[in-house]
Amino acid sequence: MESASLTTQIQPLSPEGVFANEPFIDFKAPESTRNMQAALDLVQSQLGREYDLIIGGRRLKTESKIRSLNPARPAQIVGVHQKAGAEHAEEAMQAALQAFESWSRTPVETRVSLILTAAAIIRRRKFEFCAWLTYEVGKNWAEADADLAETIDFLEFYSRDALRLAAAATPIQYPGERNELFYIPLGVGAVIPPWNFPFAIMAGMTAAAIVTGNTVVLKPSSDAPTIAAKFIEVLEQAGIPGGVVNFCPGSGASFGNAIVEHPKTRFIAFTGSKTVGLEIHERAAHTKPNQIWIKRTILEMGGKNSILICADADLDLAVDGVVASAFGFSGQKCSACSRAIIEAPVYEVFTERIRERVAQLTVGDPTANHNLGPVVNESALKSILAYIETGKLEGSLIAGGHALETPEGGYFLEPTVFADIAPDAVLAQHEIFGPVLALIKVESFQEGLRVANNTEYGLTGSIYTADRERLNRARLEFHVGNLYFNRKCTGAMVGAHPFGGFNMSGTDSKAGGPDYLALFTQAKSVAEKL
């Protein structure tokens, strides 16, 4: 993918430079459209290839395989991967432990240089990586580009922040002493990313771990292992030593649990469902023989996110924000809006505008750049359809509600909207993780805030109003980790919107923020008497 027509000429920023978010691709530009189509053709020619486990730099094959499928065309195999089992956990751990001895003592500048080189490689091949995301998880072009840009942002941001952390100092120098403060790596960590941002979250958690001197056992989602394998290829090209990142696709019930429970595992970075996150947290809390530390869990576990529309809101702006937040990537974002809470004076008109706007959305193969692509797999499709049936009993179906049949058997769903949903209904409380939006009517702003806070989650939220007093109250009382005023509740930008939630949304580990790298380190104070 190194031909000039398919690469960008952006040069990597130096670690001394000021961080800036990666620009998005303008797909309205004819050249970008041509580049994306050429990248899709290139990636299509590479579909179905087999990828090895990589443990300690060695490539291994297993009898059992994981086949990553294109959710728009399930008969199309994106990649064939080796399936790590519990028997591979010890081998991966020993490789990571051995690599930790030298990697933890590698100068931070060297680690930073490697991550920045990886960012530069990805930037040069951005259309290709967008194409992989389109084929493997069904992202349309803009959603794939957002994932890609966030990947670069994480690598660039964490590299600079690692230098800042390495330059830490004590707040004061005690008289008669030389006082120092170091942030040292924890050890070997398990990185368990999700399928919905299989590039950005996977690469971000991995980069945060290794740039601070840790080594990693990476277990990507079985729905998206190919993009992770491509990232490992980038790290190898950038010069990553063997054993620093060990690539081990596998079952969560076997390999995943074995790594989480291993006494030498120092931390687990996980993004995914509440159920799995809590199970990981519980397993990590049980100490094993010869375990000499309390394992650290860094968890992001989803949300049930609300947008509150006040009677004085700009309804055109609010409709655009709700639709983008609810149906971008078919609602398969932990930050997605699944509840619009609307004040009674504008409820009817807002409901009608949502219905009209949703009717304009197109659903189809993401390679053709429709608004909505498929949901990730057959299990997800069945689960969402079951929630839709529940919704028919709880409210009024005003848009969508059906799966779409295609000759290729893709997992497509219409964007679906239910009106007149009660605040405590199933549709208002459960994380559906699909293109389903519940509309909830409230009589006042105060009631709207109470409803916004009535779930077990606390990830993202938004409010549309021109009233400064209401915004100020929401700033204090709307209990979410990422709150937005007069804009959508998705699309957190690295650096500007450190991302992570409250309550059952996770451990409030703010990815892309100034506190994140500290989660992968431990502080050591040294005092020398003069």
Q: From first to last of the 530 residues of the chain, give the pLDDT tens digit.
A: 333 333 333 344 455 678 999 999 999 999 999 999 999 999 999 999 999 999 999 999 999 999 999 999 999 999 999 999 999 999 999 999 999 999 999 999 999 999 999 999 999 999 999 999 999 999 999 999 999 999 999 999 999 999 999 999 999 999 999 999 999 999 999 999 999 999 999 999 999 999 999 999 999 999 999 999 999 999 999 999 999 999 999 998 899 999 999 999 999 999 999 999 999 999 999 999 999 999 999 999 999 999 999 999 999 999 999 999 999 999 999 999 999 999 999 999 999 999 999 999 999 999 999 999 999 999 999 999 999 999 999 999 999 999 999 999 999 999 999 999 999 999 999 999 999 999 999 999 999 999 999 999 999 999 999 999 999 999 999 999 999 999 999 999 999 999 999 999 999 889 999 999 999 999 999 999 99
Name the pTM for this structure.
0.96
Say what angle helices 126-137 and 108-124 make with each other, to 10 degrees: 80
Lookup: tokens for 324: 């983008």
Residue-level pLDDT at 12: 44
CA–CA distance, 148 with 158 (Å, rounded to integer)? 16
pLDDT at 2: 35
Tokens of 275: 């159920």
Architecture of domain 26-301+509-526: 3-Layer(aba) Sandwich (3.40)
pLDDT value for 18: 85
Cα–Cα distance between 233 and 306 in angstroms, integer?
A: 39
State the pLDDT at residue 11.
43
Q: Which helix (H) or strand (E) holds 349?
A: helix 344-359
Position 508 scores a pLDDT of: 84
CA 251, CA 87: separation in Å to the nearest integer? 12
From 120, 121, 153, 144, select the one nearest 36 (Cα to Cα): 144
CATH class of the domain comprising 305-493: alpha beta
pLDDT at 3: 34
Q: Where exactly does CATH 3.40.605.10 map onto the chain? A: 26-301+509-526
Q: At 429, list the tokens.
A: 């409380």
What pLDDT shows up at residue 44? 98
In this prediction, residue 391 carries a pLDDT of: 98
Write out the catalytic residue numbers. 300, 334
Q: At how many degrees (to 10) do helices 126-137 and 225-238 cross?
A: 160
CA distance 449 to 415: 26
Q: What angle do CA 491, 494, 500 make, to 5 degrees?
A: 75
CATH 3.40.309.10 placement within the chain = 305-493
Of residues 185, 225, 218, the one with CA closest to residue 204? 218
pLDDT number for residue 14: 52
